[in-house]
Amino acid sequence: MTCLHAPSRRELLLASGALFAWTYLPRIARAEGRDPRFLTIILRGALDGLGAVAPVGDPGWIALRDDKALKLEGEHAALPLDSFFALNPAMPNFHRLYKAGQATVVHAAATPYRERSHFDGQDILESGLPKPGTAETGWLNRAFASIEPGGRVDARGREAFAVGPVTPLVVRGPAPVLSWTPPRLPPASDDTLMRLLDLYRHTDPALARALEERMGLAAIARAGGINQDPNNPAAKQAGVAQVRAYFAEATGSAAKFLGRPDGPRVGALAFDGWDTHANEGASDGRLAQLLGALDGAIAAIETEMGPAWRETVVAVVTEFGRTAHINGTEGTDHGTATVALLAGGALKGGRVIADWPGLKPSDLQDGRDLKPTTDLRAVLKGLLKDHLRVADDALANKVFPGSGAVRAAIGLVG
Amino acid sequence: MALDPKFEAALALHRFGFGPRGDAIARIAADPRGAMLAEIERPNAGRIDNPDLLTGGEAARAAFDFRQEKKAVRLAEAADREAAKNGTAQPAPRPEKMDPAMADPFLQTQTGAMKLTLEEAQRKAANPPALPQQIYLEEAKARFDAAVATDIGFAERLVWFWSNHFCISADKGPTRPLCGAFEREAIRPHVAGRFADMLMAVESHPAMLIYLDNARSIGPSSIAGMRQNKGLNENLAREILELHTLGVRTGYTQDDVTSFAKVITGWTIEPLKQNAPHAGEFAFNPRMHEPFSQTVAGKAYADGGLDQGKAVLADLARHPATAKHIALKLARHFVADNPPPALVERLAKRFRDTDGNLKEVTKSLVTAPESWSAPRAKLKRPSEWLVASLRAGGVELKDVRPLVQAQNLLGEPLWRPPAPNGFSDDSTTWMDGLAQRLDIANRFGQRVPTQLEADAMVETALGPLASEETRSAVKRAESRPQALALLLMAPEFQRR
């Protein structure tokens, strides 16, 4: 019976697919009597930063987005952050943390990437390299490896941790990664379904019919077009609940692992679905639902991290932003600058950090996008340096190669 | 027939193989038909060379020993409880119990997510599934590995076709550990050989004898029949005539079924008991065999023990109705739900002319113009689509359980057809599962760490078969996972 073998722990974890990475506790931090945790959440598809954190104090804001603009008054009133910015109302937990000095918004931020391809943008966001191309390792993993030369995993499993079905590029690399996947991956998103239906309707009506019927959408299709019509409310509610549950389960589990005394100290996970080309719904539609799920996920981290929340930083980042204007299908197209959302008990928070570029046509990048005024790498370097004690030269050369001119942001944690 | 060579290569891979993998389209474009024929000309065509896999006899005996051990543990535990009740004796240490959750760890109903700790993971890893399921999974892995690794997959597709034609079910009694051995021993050696040899190997294999109840069919006038009040079981004889050879409504009668059932009485298995070297293997037991001459389909067969049944099978194998039946099923599987009659007749004629030489029949399938001109309307069966997805994603298969689970979800559980006629080859049957395919494609996209650009993904998987709409949908996807999911769900990838 030599053919039969029990899977090793590693095989089991890889097979079941999760994504945290854990590696050594940073030695310097430990010497200071700290035990820092760092989790990064990648939002794939490009988050509309203006829909998440609105510049309500900018005189051009209402004119820019018209009835799609988040406002401080009305049914879906945005939550004020300071005299200029307000948070999407779907994020009460993040707002509470902000008020408690445990959350920070960085606005008008972007990676060095200036084109608008998701794939390349995600590669740059996660690899930390200045240009697209085949990347095998991510900045978070390299940061770990640089903290502990060799990056070996010790026998008790005090490695770095990653959560998700495929280990995200950001945490792949020389330092060993353990991964864990929630057993219930989310079902295909409405967005994926709509894209597929659109393809079928143009190329294979029989498959379109089969899918529509199975999805309970036949009635809507007959009524005159999936694209214009909101989804079947019941199916939509179920989908939203599943997305919320998946986000909370994935992050909550990550936090449980990171919170353990013998657990990993660094984690990464990725959420898809932010590519809101049509019917974006910042205040009460799809984007609001996604942000609500993200807000719930942040709350789950806080809860599950327990006492370790005090020593935690969560960084939520996306590949690029979206157009400043609403497009012809009530959505936004690929853009440039956006927000980064930071949360955690280790932050010196309660601030929106922005060198605001303005919204006038002449202020916009290429006449269409929010102009980037903060290099996202400066933010990440600041966190890695002050929270995890990654050395300056490693940050400039290994973690974000060629970023010597980009100074690490100071005072983010404290 | 002036097909663009790359188009024909891509068509060959999807229609007759398991879909492109790496640069397969370019590699066979010089001569797609030649490359397909080369696969079945190989001396070991269809075979799996893996010395770790058990023979049917070994698997049956291992499963038997396993059941005996479990029984012993249960008895001992009962004795302990009895002793504890009477206040005597400490319970002795027992082997650890199997974890039933591991039998199918990817079930959606599993609720362990939040509870999964590292310790639990280790504990689970240390508790493998029960032995019959372990063997089933090892065999499933060998089968998927062969399908994923092959160049085109034509020979493997033939294996899958014949395995479904002569299906057995893992859900029937003790056949679970035998399913893989059945396919390797009765089907694979003959996919490019003679139909008569495959038929004989199949009908005398323990897995088939158990599945269709012949192992315990007893001639009423046999020695065993006279002694006990048991008798004939017609199941196997009927399905051989109806499903395996002549086909339904081809003129045979109930009398033919009964007579044929009597002919094959005594085709059974060596009883399972501890330390019996051939236990669980095929045996002809003369004490169960009906000792008379029988007439089947108008021909008398004198009693010759085992040879009587062999003679009937040999005649059935070369019967014109069998030729037509097999020709129709082959054409329906590979070419179209309603295949062109000219193609069916071409294959049937080749079958008759060569006395059921399957290599020759298969060659006619490849060289027939109708095989290439039919529209790409057939929906891939779930299992074919899963393998094609693995190949397109460049996935190296480590753990077979998610795949086995995916086949379950899509309604085509591996080696577990609902009835002896196997899984349907009709596209409409599988349309219903399209939404489930989307969920699996979505999960697959999330799990495959591809670094390919959209254009490269499409070129690998579809090449010239891809429509502009599909290229654009994949290119505009919001992420690689979504791009891969859309590609695998594209009509050109779903159909063949």
**What is the DSSP-derived secondary structure letter of residue A395?**
I
Closest listed residue to residue B173, CA positions, set B128, B215, B225: B215
Give the start-to-end residue ranges of the domains of chain A. Answer: 9-184+240-399
For residues A214-223, give the mean pLDDT. 47
Name the residue facing B399 among A7, A204, A273 (closest C-beta). Answer: A7
Distance CA B423, CA B436 (A): 18
Residue B230, sorted as left (phi over 0), alpha (psi -120 to 50) or beta, turns out to be: beta
Contact state of B438 with A185 under an 8 Å Cβ cutoff? no
pLDDT at A117: 86
> For A211-215, what is the mean pLDDT?
74
Residue B459: CB partners within 8 Å, gap ≥ 6? B25, B466
The C-alpha atoms of residue B328 and residue B347 are separated, in whole angstroms, by: 8
List, in sequence order, every residue forming a beta bridge with B267; answer none if it has no partner: B284
pLDDT in tens, B208-222: 999 999 999 999 999
pLDDT digits (tens, 9 = 90+) for B244-290: 999 988 989 999 999 999 999 999 999 998 888 999 999 999 999 99
Which of A156, A266, A39 lies closest to B119, judged by CA? A156
- Substitution target in A167, A203, A275 with the highest count of B β-carbons within 10 Å is A203
Instruction: Tell me the CATH number for domain A9-184+240-399.
Output: 3.40.720
* Cβ–Cβ below 8 Å for B446 and A185: yes
Judged against a pLDDT cut of 90, whether residue B384 lies above it is answered with yes
Instruction: Find the residue in A nearest to B448 (Cα).
Output: A166
Residue A199, sorted as left (phi over 0), alpha (psi -120 to 50) or beta, turns out to be alpha
pLDDT of the residue at B102: 31
Q: A210 to chain B: which residues are within 8 Å by CB? A: 431-432, 434
Q: Which amino acid is at B421?
A: N
> Mean of the pLDDT values across residues B308-317?
98
Task: State pLDDT tens for residues A253-270.
Answer: 889 888 887 778 888 888
Q: Do A184 and B438 touch (CB under 8 A)?
A: no
Nearest by CB to residue B128, choosing from A6, A119, A135, is A6
CB contact under 8 A, B399 and A11: yes
Q: What is the pLDDT, as a whole number, of residue A265? A: 84
ipTM of the prediction: 0.87
CA distance B395 to chain A (A): 12
CB-nearest partner of B125 from A2, A8, A200 = A8
- Measure B429 CA to nearest chain A CA, in Å: 11
Interface residue of A5, A8, A9, A303 to substitute, partner B, most B CBs within 10 Å: A9
pLDDT in tens, B52-83: 999 999 999 999 999 999 989 999 988 888 88
Q: Which residues of B460-479 are buried (b: 16+ CB within 10 A; e: fewer)?
A: bbbbbbbbebbbebbbbbbb
- Measure CB to CB from residue A182 to each of B113, B453, B479 and give the nearest one: B113
Closest to A71 measured CA to CA, from A56, A92, A89: A56
Q: What percent of chain B has pLDDT over 90?
A: 73
Residue of A3, A127, A167, A247 to mutate, testing the B interface (most B Cβ within 10 Å of its Cβ): A3
Integer angstrom CA distances of residue B146 from A19, B143, B155, B358, B443: 30, 5, 10, 21, 23
Interface size between A and B, measured as CB pairs under 8 A: 155
- Tens digit of pLDDT for each residue in B180-218? 999 999 999 999 999 999 999 999 999 999 999 999 999
Give the residue from chain B lying closest to A252, CA to CA. Answer: B114
B-chain CB neighbours of A188 within 8 Å are 438-439, 441-442, 485
Element (H, E) at A268: strand A266-271
pLDDT at A263: 76
Q: Do A122 and B118 touch (CB under 8 A)?
A: no
B482 with A207: Cβ contact below 8 A: no
Q: What is the pLDDT of residue A164?
A: 64
- A166 → closest Cβ in B449, B467, B478: B449
pLDDT beyond 50 at A223: no
Give mean pLDDT, residues B385-401.
Answer: 91
Residue A162 has pLDDT above 70, yes or no: no
Q: Are B163 and B187 in contact (CB under 8 A)?
A: yes
**Probe site for chain A from B116, B429, B474 (most A CB atoms < 10 A):** B116
Residue A394 has pLDDT above 60, yes or no: yes
By Cβ distance, the residue of A9, A199, A207 closest to B122 is A9
